[in-house]
Amino acid sequence: MSTVNLGLIQTHATDDKVDNLQRTMTLVREAAAKGAKIVCLQELFLTPYFCKREDTELFDLAEPIPGKTTEDLSALAKELNVVIVASLFEKRAAGLYHNTAAIIDADGTYMGKYRKMHIPEDPGFNEKFYFTPGDTGYRVWRTKHGNIGVLVCWDQWYPEAARLTAMQGADILFYPTAIGWLASEKDELGKAQHCAWETVQRGHAVANGCFVAAVNRVGFEEETEFWGQSFVANPYGEIVAKASRKDEEVLIVPVELKEVEDFRRIWPFFRDRRIDSYQPIVQRWGNE
């Protein structure tokens, strides 16, 4: 099918992982009932965003991937005939943890994982303490309902990540996200911060001639107000659907995959890339 319905699950999280999983699975069922074929969950959907402080006990929140949660989601995906993108805290080994997205096909097959490559370290976002940078590379999954690439939150600021994923054949880039305003910054910088977040991802859609779907959480967690506003942008960078700032939502967005090829024929950015001139991009800064 050329048209596929995306389901973006924008919700909150509590300290009860079982409750978070069950509520989310109920929302996936709702999305499927509304016609969704590819469903993406927000970043670290099983827990509150725990990276606000450095606490070694919080490593107990991590789990193997594949594991019990992916088994539960695989059964759900098969039952509903939907692809599921699930962002989880992965325990790879003692002392080795990742921020990881699991990709499950519509027949329940666990297709693999993407480990978040770019790890931030900012006030209220102390991720370098918890997450080892990813080593899976940029990947695309050819699912029953479309060719998708998955990146995670801080990855969404890097055009290199979007480009390399699109070059693997992605028609849709999914970004499970947990981003919000710190109370101390919102009045002065809140509008500009949200504008930057939305604009850079719309730019990825244009530069790569693909759809972009960003899935954020909502609610207050300590000093952070997650700003929701999950959205889908088309290859022209136009926002075709957006969720609210505060409310939980199951956002269903039909996308016409033929638009990807139509756009790339008109604006053939991949054809005109000067790959012979890009070697300096692998340097940290300038020629040094």
Residue 89, beta-bridge partner list: 99
Q: Return the pLDDT at 183.
A: 93
* Beta-sheet pairing, 96-104 with 110-115: antiparallel
Q: What is the pLDDT of residues 33-63, one digit of tens each?
A: 999 999 999 999 999 999 999 999 999 999 9
Q: Is the link from the previous residue into 66 a cis peptide, with omega within 30 of 0?
A: yes
pTM above 0.95, yes or no: yes
- pLDDT, mean of residues 265-272: 97
> What is the pLDDT of the chain when averaged over all its residues?
97
Q: Is the pLDDT of residue 288 over 70?
A: no
Q: Single out the catalytic residue among 153, 198, 225, 242.
A: 153
Domains of the chain and CATH, by start: 3-282 (3.60.110.10)
On the CB side of 177, how many CA atoms lie within 13 Å of its CA? 29
Q: Single out the catalytic residue among 37, 43, 90, 225.
A: 43
* Beta-sheet pairing, 38-41 with 3-10: parallel
Q: What is the pLDDT of residues 66-105, one digit of tens each?
A: 999 999 999 999 999 999 999 999 999 999 999 999 999 9
- pLDDT, mean of residues 260-275: 97
Q: Annotated catalytic, 153?
A: yes
Q: Annotated catalytic, 43?
A: yes
Confidence of residue 1 (pLDDT cuts 50, 70, 90): low
Q: Single out the catalytic residue among 37, 91, 113, 116.
A: 116
Confidence of residue 287 (pLDDT cuts 50, 70, 90): confident
Contact 26, 44 (CB under 8 A): no
Confidence of residue 286 (pLDDT cuts 50, 70, 90): confident
- pLDDT, mean of residues 241-248: 97
Largest CA distance in the chain: 55
